Structure 1
C-alpha cells in the first residue's frame, strides 16, 4: 500500500484526497502545511494535520510519498512548495483520471494532475507539478514545463511550447507552434496567435499584451 501525505489544506487538497484514495493500492494518511499557517489546527478532513517543518520526522521519505496540492491563486507559491518538498527528498505521485486519454508516448514528470476527459496526444511532454483540469486538449508534440495550470477546455495546438508557471483560463486557445513564455497568463476565452512575452498578461481575441507581473508573478483572487 502506497501511503501519501498531502502538502496543503484547502479545497483543492480536500478534492485531491478524494481522487487519490480512489486509486487502488494507495491511501492518503495525513495533510501538512507550513508551521506559520497551521495555527492550533491538528486535523483536516478527518486526518492528521502536521507542520511541514516536522514532516520528515513524522512521515519519513523512505516510507511515505507526497502530493503537493495547492491551487492557482499564487502561481509562484505552487512552485515554492513543490521545491521545498523536493529539497526534503520526497518522491511524488501523479493523479491521472481514468477517463483522461494519454497516448503511450506522452512523457510525464511528477506531482501532475490530469482530470476528467482531458486528452494528451502523441509525443507531448508534461514536466512537474502541473494541473490539467477537465476537458483540456493538448495536441501532438506539445512541450509543457512545470508548475502550470490549465483551466477546463483549454486547447493547445500541435508543437506548442509552454514554459514554467503559466496560467490558462477557461476556454483559452493557442494556435499550433506558439511559444508561451515563463509566467504568461492567458485569460479566459482568449485566442493566442503568436508567441507571448515572459511575465505577460494576455487577453482577447486575438490575445493582446495588457500588463506585466514580473515583480509579483501571477496572483488571482
Structure 2
C-alpha cells in the first residue's frame, strides 16, 4: 500500500529517509504550513494539502505515516493518530533496513523503528510509538502506546514504559525498572527506580518530581 506522510518537520524528515531506504512508495505529504505557504512539493514529493487533504483520500488504498514529533507536554501526535484511525486509516509499521528487530518482537500499528535501533527478543511495543535512532531495547521490555524512546537511549531487560512516556536521548534504564504514564526521563539520565505518573526525572533517579514543577 502506498504511503502519505503527515507533517514536514524534523521527525518527518527522518521518516522520509526511512521510507526511501525501505523502498516504499510515498504519494505525498500533508502539512498545513506547507499548504498555507503554497508549496507544491517537499523534498521532491507532492504537497497534497493540509489536514483537510485526508478527506480526499481513500483509507482502503493508502497508509498513513505519523510524521508529527512527540514533544513533552503535547498530545498532538497522539491526537493526529487517533483521529485518523477513527476515519478508517491505518498506520503501517515502519522499520529502517539498518535497524535490528528480533522475529519474536510484537509491534503495534504505526510503530516506527529508526536506523541503528536494536530491539531484542520478546519486546512488545504499543501503537504509535517511536524507537528512535540507535536506541536499544533489551529482552522482554514492554513499551505501551504513544511512547517516544529518543536517540541513543538504552533500556535493559524487562523495562516497562507506560503510555505517553518520553525517554530522553542517551538515558539508561536499568533492568526491570518501571516508567509510569506520561512521565519524562531527561536526556542522559540513569534510572534506577520506578518513576511515578506525570513526573520528570533528571540525573540519577533518586527523587522524581512532579512534571508541573519542572
TM-score normalised by length of structure 1: 0.87
Corresponding residue SS for 1:66? strand
**1:102-181 equivalence runs, <5 A:** 102-181=101-180
Q: Tell me the CA shift for residue 42 of structure 1.
A: 4.3
Q: What residue ranges of structure 1 are gaps of 5+ in the alignment?
A: none
d(CA) in 1 for partners of 2:21, 2:98: 13
Q: Tell me the CA shift for residue 11 of structure 1.
A: 2.5
Does the Cα contact within 8 Å between 1:159 and 1:178 map onto a contact in 2?
yes
Distance change (3 Å), C-alpha of 1:194 and 1:23: same
Matching residue of 1:55:
54
Q: Tell me the CA shift for residue 208 of structure 1.
A: 2.9
d(CA) in 2 for partners of 1:142, 1:90: 28
Q: What residue ranges of structure 2 are gaps of 5+ in the alignment?
A: none
d(CA) in 2 for partners of 1:128, 1:120: 16
Matching residue of 1:7:
6
In terms of mean alpha carbon deviation, does 192-201 or 43-52 score higher? 43-52
Does the Cα contact within 8 Å between 1:153 and 1:172 map onto a contact in 2?
yes
Does the Cα contact within 8 Å between 2:2 and 2:26 map onto a contact in 1?
yes
Q: Tell me the CA shift for residue 45 of structure 1.
A: 3.0
Q: Tell me the CA shift for residue 40 of structure 1.
A: 4.2
d(CA) in 1 for partners of 2:60, 2:7: 20
Deviations 1:50-87 (A, max 9, x none): 13234132x21111111111112254111111111111
Distance change (3 Å), C-alpha of 1:138 and 1:37: same
Q: Does 1:211 align with 2:197?
A: no
d(CA) in 1 for partners of 2:53, 2:95: 29
Matching residue of 1:190:
189
Q: Tell me the CA shift for residue 205 of structure 1.
A: 1.8
Does the Cα contact within 8 Å between 1:42 and 1:49 map onto a contact in 2?
no
d(CA) in 2 for partners of 1:106, 1:180: 20
